[in-house]
Structure 1
Amino acid sequence: MNGGPKDADTPEKDAVRTAETMFDVVQRLVENDGASLAELAAELDYAKSTVHRHLHTLADLGYVVRRDGGYHVGLRFLEIGVTARSGYRGYDLVRQKVEEIAEVTGERAQFFVEEHGKAVYLARAVGDRAVRTDPGIGSRIPLYAASAGKAILAELPEPELSDMFERMSFEPVTEHSVTDPDELRAEIEAGRERGYFFNREESLRGTHAVGVSICDPDGEVIGGLSVTGPSHRLNGDRLESEIPDLLLGAANELELNIAHM
């Protein structure tokens, strides 16, 4: 009989499980900065033969390499990552501006984009006094825990923003993280009026950040630009006036340049 529900053990389901297992292996290699076959099997609770089969396939395709007595992700992923990053409109302009801001402020500057409800580091640069504590390019943090993430949320039309709120877990990153949806909405409204957003130890203890949004000529949000520094240095007028003015000027310049690409 055609058209009925598929059995749970169909080849399609098996293929999905196989793909999920392979990505579990890759993700654990990334998180552990490499691992042995035994370590992977134990941590993932898979049979060694299953893990070995996936590692062998990944190695044959160039995505995994063996060194230092274990397995590591290969540089083939770098090719994919660079392609994904370069696909964002205005990336080269953004990267240059992030480097300029880091040099001028002496702090850490970064640019985030939203992907699957998370803020993803797309570009970053560090000044001569910068705190070097962020997880790096491609890493993800909750949108509500980043100043630039809040700036991105503020640009979303209401139906999309409400849907995003529904999908958020609102789990705290630090004890200062905003985990109440009503409080976050109030912050977003206040930030819309100011034009910039704050992160006061919400993603990392001892640091503050200021963020602004970057939009395309149609008003669609591209991402968020921010500056992060130690809370004892990024406070008062520097936090609430000097850095915001710098970022708003940078955002205006970026948006004009992107519009004329």
Structure 2
Amino acid sequence: MGEAREKPAEFVEALAKGIAILEAFDAETPEMTLSEVSRKVGLSPAAARRSLMTLETLGYIGRREKRFHLKPKLMALGSAFYFSARIDEILQEDVQGIVEKFGDASSVGTLDGHEVIYVAHRSVQRARRAAAVAGARYPAYATSMGRVLLAALPDAEIDAYLASYDPKPLTSKTCTNPQALRAEIMTARRNGYATTVDQLDYGITALAVPIRAADGSTVAALNTSGYTGMVTPDQLIAERLPELQQAASHIAHQLTRYPTLRAVLGG
């Protein structure tokens, strides 16, 4: 489930600190001072300064007066993953097909700890809502893909997740009760799909199905979503579930031909 692993003898602390600093910048903190970076990452000011200076020299971080920010060069790292894993060639075709048929939006995501990472996305939506772009991360408990992915875990790992996650009411409808969430996860396991309404943000009704490798393990999830009020979960199930399952099956077949993508999705 993406838990912290035991550090091998070859583990490079300095590199880990640098990556933690890059991950600390987000929509809420696009710029930070040295002291703010130090507090957010949990490093001493001296350690944070060394990492920031290194990243600045390499061109991944810039500075405006005393405030640091990310630079476009960082996007090259994401592009390297995108093209080496052949995301555009393998995943985007099916995601785009879902959007062309039904409109709205579609994504592929995988589980990383308590969050879902979106690895492919297409959308025709324009309203203000959570930005489901490739690379975005959202809490698994509040997304249809997250619930499908959690449903594929052994019971002990689901219990561990529910014991350790920190749910926040992202909307007034967000399910934050562990018992209720476990029931939703078990329903997703029985049905082979999950639906959510206004869990992550107002206006999002979504349906997700698992993407399974040849050995039957769930390595990712595929979803389709629309505007709450314009579509209901029952409508998504009736109108889109067969197409979504077919697309997930096609992606699963592709994984047998592209082992690198299988590895990056399923670990």
Q: How does 1:30-49 map to 2 (within 5 A)?
A: 30-31=26-27, 34-35=30-31, 39-41=33-35
Distance 1:241 1:130, change over 3 A: farther
Matched, 1:79 2:76: yes
Give the SS at the match of 1:178: coil
Q: How many Å separate the matches in 1 of 2:233 and 2:49?
A: 55
Q: How does 1:247-258 map to 2 (within 5 A)?
A: 247-258=244-255
Q: Specify the alignment match of 1:124 in structure 2.
A: 121
Structure 1 window deviating more from structure 2 (245-254 vs 148-157): it is 245-254
Structure 1 window deviating more from structure 2 (202-211 vs 166-175): it is 166-175
Distance 1:32 1:183, change over 3 A: closer
Q: How many Å separate the matches in 2 of 1:97 and 1:249?
A: 9
Structure 1 unaligned runs (5+)?
1-14
Report the Cα offset of residue 115 of structure 1: 0.9
CA contact (8 A) 2:196 2:207 kept: yes
- The amino acid across from 2:216 in the alignment is G
Q: Specify the alignment match of 1:231 in structure 2.
A: 228
- The amino acid across from 1:240 in the alignment is I
Matched, 1:171 2:168: yes
Matched, 1:100 2:97: yes
CA contact (8 A) 2:108 2:119 kept: yes
Please list the CA deviations of residues 178-228 of structure 1 after superposition, one character each: whole Å capped at 9, or x if unmatched: 212221222222223322111110001122111111010112211111112
Q: How many Å separate the matches in 1 of 2:195 and 2:129?
A: 18
Q: How many Å separate the matches in 2 of 1:75 and 1:251?
A: 33
Distance 1:150 1:43, change over 3 A: same
Give the SS at the match of 2:206: strand
Structure 1 length normalisation: TM-score? 0.77
Q: Specify the alignment match of 1:133 in structure 2.
A: 129
Structure 2 unaligned runs (5+)?
1-11, 259-267
CA contact (8 A) 2:142 2:175 kept: yes
Matched, 1:207 2:204: yes
Distance 1:195 1:131, change over 3 A: farther
- The amino acid across from 1:223 in the alignment is A
Matched, 1:196 2:193: yes
Distance 1:92 1:68, change over 3 A: farther
Give the SS at the match of 1:79: helix
Cα RMSD (Å): 3.3
Q: How many Å separate the matches in 2 of 1:142 and 1:34?
A: 20
Please list the CA deviations of residues 30-80 of structure 1 after superposition, one character each: whole Å capped at 9, or x if unmatched: 4457537xx454675699987665433212122123579964323442232
Distance 1:158 1:48, change over 3 A: closer
- The amino acid across from 2:130 in the alignment is D
Number of residue pairs matched by the alignment: 244
Q: Highest Rg: 1 or 2?
A: 1
- Percent identity between matched residues is 24
Matched, 1:26 2:22: yes
Q: How many Å separate the matches in 1 of 2:193 and 2:207?
A: 7
